[in-house]
Structure 1
């Protein structure tokens, strides 16, 4: 199987490395910035290209891994591609690729950073296709990379992506807010790392609702009031604290 990759960001980088490790041939890598394409292509023994017009027409699959807003524009430039075209977005409908004959979605449900290695075999791969032949091809590729391949349509994938934003992006933002609170009082973020690790470990075995702790779930009004007083000089954080605390109270 021969694959070309359109994009050279975090997702594209991890995906390309996983393909290489699975002995899948990566023919070409394209990016808006040729230097980025060259950097990734060199790592996965592929050819970097500057123009999509020279995309390898003999490739079996073209994986589009660019920002969501750019997928439609890229897809328009690939309508003559004879293989399967698939994007890697969690929130973009499969129909954005409908100008092609065979198309689908190849969405890895994970947070990626270029410099942080991870095992792709544990990453859930969510796939969708416009016909069964395309689905089987994407499934075959997915099974070479991951131990968990899930068929999921665009509507449910949007819900999944929304949930992922709460579970990952918002949670990480809360870490940043916690750091802001600590820094304002000359305390180091490092002291929270064991707590963060244990909290994440709990939900590997239990549902989040059953392991909720803290003053809001206990309805500890005195502690809540003290926390709010500490945030009086940070009105945005105070508002967030109140909203989240009320949300937790309602789950009791």
Structure 2
């Protein structure tokens, strides 16, 4: 039995609370980070708060082993006096959107082997894909994740805006999105690149720019130039 305390009330905290709550081998407690007057003890205390709050909140927690869930912050952001670690899940978490943790990569770090093994055991109770990733690696991984997830999703938002403006159902693009995602599992992304930028279809590019507003045009030109420079 592993006792786990989750501190936080955001998307990550709530999704972890739901997943751990289904596991008999976990004794689970959850509190809000604003209510730290009486902090229950636990084998692992998981601090699932915003990046900017990690240092301040961690100062108030004296449990034996405290970990944060941030991809962007070093283990050194934790200001508690005892053992430290990181329990980072490389996934996008959205309210009321279920997460299949068996497919989520768990990126773990701890200040000693014993604590790492404990984190590994905890992760294995809800997941399968476990990686030992230190703070330096995780910082770079998080930047990569922003490109493939957050920035890509913003591209979807632009595509959706264009479709809505011209009364086209966005769902027409779903098969294209799915094919691109599947293709990079067997091809390097650069090898999978298609479109007018890589083909240097200048007239098509000019026609596209005439259809876009200023913000969209700026993004289109920047990405087109970047694709061509990297070809």
With the shorter chain as reference, the TM-score category is over 0.9
Are the counterparts in 1 of residues 60 and 80 from structure 2 also a CA contact under 8 Å?
Answer: no
2:157 to 172, 176, 195: 176
Residue matched to 1:147? 128
Alignment of 1:1-252 (within 5 A): 1-32=2-33, 51-57=35-41, 59-78=42-61, 80-81=62-63, 83-231=64-212, 234-252=213-231
Offset, 1:123: 0.6
Segments of 5+ residues of structure 1 without an aligned counterpart are 33-49
RMSD over aligned Cα atoms: 1.5
| 1:144-181 deviation digits (Å, cap 9, x = unpaired) | 22211111111110100000000000000010011111
Q: Secondary structure at the match of 1:52?
A: coil
Q: Give me the whole-angstrom Cα distance separating, in 1, the residues matched to 2:174 and 2:143.
A: 26
Aligned positions, number: 230
Q: Give me the whole-angstrom Cα distance separating, in 1, the residues matched to 2:54 and 2:27.
A: 20
TM-score by length of 2: 0.94
TM-score by length of 1: 0.86
Offset, 1:204: 2.4
Offset, 1:98: 4.4
Q: Give me the whole-angstrom Cα distance separating, in 2, the residues matched to 1:112 and 1:196.
A: 20
